[in-house]
Amino acid sequence: MTHKSEEDTGSQSPTPPLADPTQQVDWADHFGGPTLSAPGADIWPRPVLVPGMPFPGPPFPPATPFLPRTLGTPYPSVGDILGYGQTLRSDDGVSSQTQDQRTILQLRRDVEHERALRLHGMTLWQEQHRRLASQRDLYEGNLDRLLKEQSANPKIQFDSKQRKLKRELEEKEKEVTERTRMWKKAATELNKLRAQSFYQITDEYLVGLIVKLRYSIRNFSLQYFEGTSPPKISLFAQLPNYLNHASAIIPGKEEEIYSGVHSKRDYQIIQALIWRVLVAEVFNKFTWVGGKTSESFKHLHTKLDPAWNSDSRGIERPEPEAERKFQTWSATTIGLLLDA
């Protein structure tokens, strides 16, 4: 029902007169045709009915009026409104679907597909995680079982110790091989040093030097000690201790040594004594090496000197081969010391 404005009513009361209930009009009979109940349908305003006046007719072309819903005609669902599963019917009965509805439908399908893929991926990950956890538990169980069996089986322990000893033996063999290689290298270098010249002299030259020295000693003895009586104190009181060297030449007590020196063969005794002193105090002390080196080399020379053996006649002599090697070593070492 509509109301007239104040301009149309003038001085009349703003409240329009009520229609007579006995004269209500059936709109379906006036407008004709079937009625369509749908949201958004066009509704024309109802005309004002005045009691005692005939129905003037519709002021506009006939349209479909809106009829309220009853219990027999429920409201459509959201899916019906959005067009899922069915279409809306217009006045001419032609189905239509807007672009927005198709877009919404496509987005909904994409979301459902993405959700399904994510759910499928999560399911696969959980299954793989359970499978890996099961394999890990299986491996750990097998490892524990093997360790228990190994600790309980003496044969396995013996085999383990045997393998350990075998590895140690292989390492020792490698170490021995390396040391052998180093020893061979050192021996090769030593042979090279031996092959070098080290103050070598011939036997003839050495014999000539000894003959000259013997001649000088003999002349010295004859010149100063033949037919004379050397003083008893002056000869043996000086260092080195000539008395010990004389006792090596003339066995016996000190009186016998003195009597031997003052005998007619005194120059021969003095000659032998000089040789003894030269060998003991000069040659065997390596004084030509110089400094403390001579004392150190003398100590080493004494330790390495080969032992003497008695022959069939009871005379002590060195072994020829051992003496040759010893003298070669001595000459080589002295040459190295002099070159240093």
Among candidates 94, 95, 73, which has minimal Cα distance to 86? 95
Count the neighbouring beta carbons within 10 Å of the beta carbon of residue 114: 10
Asked whether residue 30 is domain-assigned, the answer is yes
* Residue 296, both tokens: 């150190």
| Within-domain flag for 173 | no
pLDDT digits (tens, 9 = 90+) for 299-316: 888 888 888 887 777 777
Spatial CB neighbours of 208, under 8 Å, sequence gap ≥ 6: none
H or E element in which residue 308 lies = strand 308-310
Asked which of 66, 82, 98 is the last residue of a domain, the reply is 82
Q: Quick check: 187 pLDDT over 50? A: yes
Asked if 260 and 250 count as a contact pair (C-beta separation under 8 A), the reply is yes
- Class of residue 270 by CB neighbours under 10 A (exposed 0-12, middle 13-18, buried 19+): buried
Q: What is the pLDDT of residues 103-138, one digit of tens each?
A: 888 888 888 988 888 888 888 888 888 888 888 888
- 132 belongs to a structural domain: no
What pLDDT is stored for residue 200 in this prediction? Answer: 63
| Res 10 pLDDT > 50 | no
pLDDT tens digits, one per residue of 37-95 = 444 444 444 555 555 555 455 554 554 444 444 444 454 444 444 444 444 444 444 44
Tell me how many domains the chain contains.
2
Q: Are 199 and 206 in contact (CB under 8 A)?
A: no
b/e code 130-153 from CB counts within 10 Å (16+ = b) = eeeeeeeeeeeeeeeeeeeeeeee
For 199-214, what is each residue's pLDDT tens digit?
Answer: 567 778 878 888 898 8
| CA atoms within 13 Å, Cβ hemisphere of 21 | 0
Alpha carbon distance 338, 288 (integer Å): 9
Last residue of a domain, one of 24, 50, 82: 82
Boundary residue ending a domain (53, 82, 111): 82
Q: Give the residue numbers spanning the domain of 39.
A: 1-82
Radius of gyration of the chain (CA): 71
Burial class (CB in 10 A: 0-12, 13-18, 19+), 186: exposed
- Is residue 183 assigned to a domain? no
Q: Which two tokens stand for residue 336?
A: 């190295």
Tokens of 89: 């019917």
- The pTM for the full model equals 0.34
| Contact between residue 227 and residue 277 where contact means Cβ atoms under 8 Å apart | no
Instruction: Judge whether 220 lies within some domain.
Output: yes
Cα separation, 110 vs 181, whole angstroms: 79
- Give the CA-trace dihedral at 150, 151, 154, 157, to 10 degrees: 70
- Find the helix packing angle between 320-339 and 291-304, rounded to 10°: 160
Residues contacting residue 262 through CB under 8 Å, at least 6 positions apart: 229, 230
- Compute the mean pLDDT over every residue in the chain, rounded to the nearest whole number: 69
With beta carbons less than 8 A apart as the criterion, state whether 270 and 261 touch. Answer: yes
Query: If you average pLDDT over residues 254-282, what whole number do you get?
Result: 73
> Does any domain span residue 139?
no
What single string gives the DSSP state of each residue in 240-304?
A: TTHHHHHHHHS-S-HHHHHHHHTSTTHHHHHHHHHHHHHIIIIITTTTTT-HHHHHHHHHHHHHH
CA distance 199 to 152: 74
Q: What pLDDT is stored for residue 252 in this prediction? A: 65
Tell me the C-alpha distance between 270 and 225, whole Å: 8
Pick the more confident residue, 188 or 256: 188
DSSP state of 92: T
In a domain, 178, yes or no: no
Token look-up 């807007």 returns: 98
Domain-located, residue 97: no
Dihedral (Cα; 112, 113, 117, 118), 10-degree rounding: -30
Contacts of 287-292 with CB under 8 Å at 24 or more apart are 288/338, 289/334, 289/337, 289/338
More confident residue, 97 or 146: 146
